[in-house]
Structures are given as C-alpha cells and as structure tokens.
Structure 1
Amino acid sequence: MTPDRPLRADAARNRALLLAAAADEFAEKGLEASVADIARRAGVGKGTVFRHFPTKDDLIAAIVLDRVEVLGALGTHLLDAPDPGTALLEFLTAAAQQRQQQDLSFLQEAGDSLPAIVESRTRMYQTIHNLVDRARDHGAIRDDITGTDVILLMCAPNYVTGYVPDAPPDLWRRYLALIFDGLRPEGAHPLPQPPPTL
C-alpha cells in the first residue's frame, strides 16, 4: 500500500478500531499494554495490528497524531466563529474534555521526535495563537495574553483535579472557568513577568 493511496473501507475501519482499542489499553495499563491485548480488544488478529503499525511506537505515534489532529481541526473550524471569546473557550473546553475522557499525556513524549507529530502540533499551536489573537483583538481577553500563555494553561484544569481523591468527573470545568475568568480583561492587573516563548 502506498502512502498516497486511501485505505479500503475495511482497512480504514480496522485502523480506527485499533486506535480506539490501543488508546483504551494504554489508558488502563500504561506503556506495558501488549499488542496481543490491543488486538483482542479491537477484535482483530495480531497480524492486522502489524500490517497497520509495524511497531508499538508506530501505534503510539498514530494515537498522539490522531488526538492532535482532532483538536487542530476543531481550532481551525473555530477561527470562523462569530464570537472569538466563545470560540477560544470552546476550544479549551474540548481540549480538557479530550484529556478527561482519556489521559494519555504519558504517550506525548513517545512521538515528540516524529516529523508528522511535530508538524501537526506546530499547526495546532499556530491555530491556538490565531484563536487568542482574535479573542484579544475583540476585547474578549486581556491585552497582555499570548497564545503561548494559553498553550501552557491548556492542561491545567485536568492537572489540578488529579490531586483531588475521587474527584467528580466534571470538576475540571470549575478550574477551566477560573482560568478563563483570569484571561478576561475585567478587573485585570498588570502581570509581574513577560510572557515566555516556546
């Protein structure tokens, strides 16, 4: 199969099943999840796994890429939203929901050096900068907020709730609301440090 040729319907379905099954296995068992268990969960043979993903690292990279591309596509779509402030909040909510549904942050480093992931993540970061610029230009967020600030805050709602034993599943929404209120211009005070660059 050449990279440019689209997958047949059954192959595309198997690939989607494998990615979903692998994400579930990794979420439950961490990096110790086995290819055999992933295949069993997906209802396919191990050979099917290796036809799509020659190594376990390839499978991990595909999961990371899929998650980044889903968020990137949403962000691109929201660039045309009529209310830039609401669009930014919707994007941050989707990012937190994705992580809450399945915290696979430990997989991120596994694909950090792969060109496809680097390119996709770079595009998504640029989209976030564009969403922030629009929100700032429309007065929805304070003048001194940058895209980098928002990128660094994206994981915060879920990170905070990780310290709460038996946290309700939607507790992250409380902290996202606190963070977003901190981005608003009302009552803003000068920040003590300049924004970082990534």
Structure 2
Amino acid sequence: MPPPNADRAVLMAAREVLLRDPRATMAAVAEEAGMGVAGLYRRYANKQALLRAVAADNYRRYIAFAEAALSDTDDPWHAFTGFLRQVLDDGLPRLTLALRGEVTFDQGLRDLDKLAVHTTNRLLRGARGSGILRPDVTRTDITVLLEQIGRIDVGDDVRSAALRRRYLALVCDGLRADAASRRLPGPPPHEAELLVGWSGEISSVS
C-alpha cells in the first residue's frame, strides 16, 4: 500500500537529500520537506525508521515497474527494456547504493526484497521464454548492470540522465538473444557478492 500524500512528500524529500548525502541528518530532510524537525520525528521515531520507509518505497516503485512490464504482453522486448529504463530514470539503483551501509533491514524490508526478487525472476523467465533475452543472463547480472549505469554522474542531472540512457541502450543490445554469439565468460555474481555492505540478513537487493 502506498504511503499517504503527506508521507509521500516527506519520502520524496528524503530521497533527494539522501541521494546527495546518505549520512544527511533528519534536520536536512525536514528542511527539504518544508517542515519542522519535530514534525518529522512525529512521523518517524528516528533516522533508521525514516531510512526503512525510504527503502520500502524504493522497493514498491521497483516492483510496480516490474509488474507493469509483466502485464505488457504485446512487445516483450519493449516491456523488458522499458522496465530497465524506468528503474534507471526513477533513480532506484542510485538510491539503493546510497542506502547501502546506512539502513538495517527489518522483516518488512526482507519481505519486499523477496517480492522484488520473485517479480524480477518472473520478468526474466518471460523474456527468455519469448526468445528475446540471451539465456545466460541472470537476475544478479541485471542488478549489477543497473547499479553500474546508475552510478553515472557528471554533475549535471539532465546530462547524467542522458548518459545513463545512452549506456543502457548499449547494454540492451548485448542482452538480446540474437547478440549471443557465444556464452558470457565466467559465472554471474553470487548473491553474497551483491550483499557486501548490507545488514539485516536479506537475500538480495534489486
């Protein structure tokens, strides 16, 4: 269930602040949200509670994009690549990277993580089954690719977004089944390799 409108405004403000500085204070978030610090603490008992709410919102947005792609059966490749583009344009990998090492996962976040993994795997199975995605690409491959592209930042938001789309287009060409002239060298990342810096015994982070 999405947060109420008032909390949505706070979470959007927190996203912006945390993308600039993952160690930002509650006061910085309150200022961005145009509210007093006391008002922010009435909604979130401490910074960890706020970070968990931001992380949960990040997961829900990701899952919504994946489910929308799953419902688009007319053009599987357009649906799959559109999903990747939406995830990048929305800044989800950048925020995931910002939260790494800052937020401790509770059961609610672990449940959302499992749902994100399940939904992504469904999307990948559909893309492989339709014959558009090379068969040796895994979910962990996609996670790493999104995080790598999401790191692109040249100090200008518009230019950075354009560059992310440019490199996503290049990557997507390599993901197509008809580009798979040979198998990829080496195995995909292990789950444990993606979890360095996270706490709370999660299974993965999308």
Normalized against structure 2, the TM-score is what? Answer: 0.78
CA displacement 1:108-165 (0-9 Å, x = unmatched): 3333522212211221122111111101110111122222322232212223x34x67
Q: Is the alpha carbon distance of 1:193 and 1:18 closer, same or farther for their aligned partners in structure 2, counting shifts above 3 Å? A: same
Q: Is the alpha carbon distance of 1:165 and 1:46 closer, same or farther for their aligned partners in structure 2, counting shifts above 3 Å? A: closer
Question: Which structure is richer in relative contact order (CA contacts within 8 A, separation 6 or more)?
Answer: 2
Kept after mapping to 1: 8 A contact 2:48/2:104: no
Query: In angstroms, what is the RMSD of aligned CA positions?
Result: 2.6
For 1:40, which of 31, 41, 47 is the aligned residue? 31
Equivalent runs, 1:1-198 vs 2, <5 Å: 12-31=4-23, 33-82=24-73, 83-99=75-91, 103-104=94-95, 105-159=97-151, 161-162=152-153, 168-169=159-160, 170-188=162-180, 189-198=182-191
Structure number with larger C-alpha Rg: 1
Gaps of 5+ in 2: 192-206
Q: Percent identity?
A: 29
CA offset at residue 197 of structure 1? 4.1
CA offset at residue 87 of structure 1? 1.4
CA offset at residue 180 of structure 1? 1.0
Normalized against structure 1, the TM-score is what? Answer: 0.81
Greater shift, 87-96 or 150-159, is seen at 150-159
Query: Which amino acid letter does the alignment assign opposite residue 152 of structure 1?
Result: V
Gaps of 5+ in 1: none
